[in-house]
Amino acid sequence: MSHAGSRQSTSTEREVRSSPQAQSASALGRARKRQGHSCARELVAGSGEPTSTAREARPSPPAPSAAVLADRLGHNGIILLLFETPSGFAIFKYYGVQLFLPNAKENIWSKFINNDKTRLFIWLKEFRTFNDKSKVINHTGISTHLTEMIKKWHLPGQKLAVGKLEYKKAIEARLKIPCLFNDEVLEVMWGLNNLMRSLIPEETSELTEEDRLQMSYGMKTVLDRYGFHDFKPEMVNERICRGAANHSRVAEGTRPSPEGVYSGVS
């Protein structure tokens, strides 16, 4: 009788331990125990709070350096840039790291106020005129001549900056070349328009009124910062550009040159 009772008791205990309620309670107990050990380790280490909270309180990592950005872009940070002019297209090599530096959107324009230093970070490789640019590149494809021009200078894996979203789509679809199109690239395009005469001497056509009256995002940011909220694009001239660039360099913490333009390379 005692042996039978013992076996029955043991069987009942096994059933209780294997029930879902018992397993859930056991798991909860183990979890609480692990949490207690974890908190104890953190307190001993002097954290005084759970690890997840400590992770959230950590400061954000510093921005990548120019060397790191250049390594990510490949080709020592040099990218190609397709620039549309009134009568054709130009291919530049450009130090693309500038597009990814902190506050690039606000600062890029000030590097294109005059061409004294542009030769340090952007270089014209080829310029061609086209009779009808609307047929050179559009949603249906890319002309043979422009394709040859791009492929002549493009290196495997190298990125190409373009000034229009439709150009990005067409080139990536037809030529399988990775393209960049964003606000920072548009600031470079503004700068090239500003210095088109000196950077592309072969271009003799005039900019359209719409192109001439555009103001860069970076310049507008500087003017707004100093209270010129109602400054109209048609009021912008070389003197205004130099003055705004000078203020931009001061705000950026870079010493302006005597002429009020940037005297270094990022």
The pLDDT, as a whole number, for residue 19 is: 52
**How much is the pLDDT for 242?**
67
At 5, the amino acid letter reads: G
**What is the C-alpha separation between 169 and 163, in angstroms, rounded?**
11
Residue 258: band (very low, low, confident or very high) from pLDDT cuts 50, 70, 90: very low
**What is the pLDDT averaged over residues 9-17?**
49
- Strand, coil or helix: what is 79? strand
What is the chain's mean pLDDT, rounded? 77
Cβ proximity of 119 and 51 under 8 Å: no
Q: Which residue has the higher pLDDT, 198 or 220?
A: 198
Residues in the chain: 266
- Among 20-24, 37-41, 58-62, 243-247, the range scoring the smallest mean pLDDT is 37-41
Identify the helix (H) or strand (E) that includes residue 244.
helix 238-252
92 SS3 class: strand
State the average pLDDT over residues 183-205. 94
Q: Which CATH number is 66-206 given?
A: 3.30.420
Section 54-70 average pLDDT: 78
Kindly list the distances between the CA atom of residue 66 and the CA atoms of 59, 70, 77, 96, 137, in Å, as whole numbers in the listed order. Answer: 21, 6, 9, 10, 33
Closest CA to 124 of 160, 82, 152: 82
Q: What is the mean pLDDT of residues 158-170?
A: 97
Taking a C-beta distance cutoff of 8 angstroms, is the pair 109, 249 a contact?
Answer: no
Query: Nearest to residue 150, comparing CAs of 130, 125, 169?
Result: 125
Residue, of 149 and 207, whose pLDDT is higher: 149
Token code pair at residue 169: 């789509």
Q: Report the distance separating Cα 167 and Cα 162, nearest Å.
A: 7
22-31, 69-78, 242-251: range with lowest mean pLDDT: 22-31
SS3 of the chain: helix, strand, coil, percent, to 5: 55, 10, 35
Under the banding of pLDDT at 50, 70 and 90, the label for residue 216 is confident
pLDDT digits (tens, 9 = 90+) for 218-237: 878 877 776 776 766 666 66
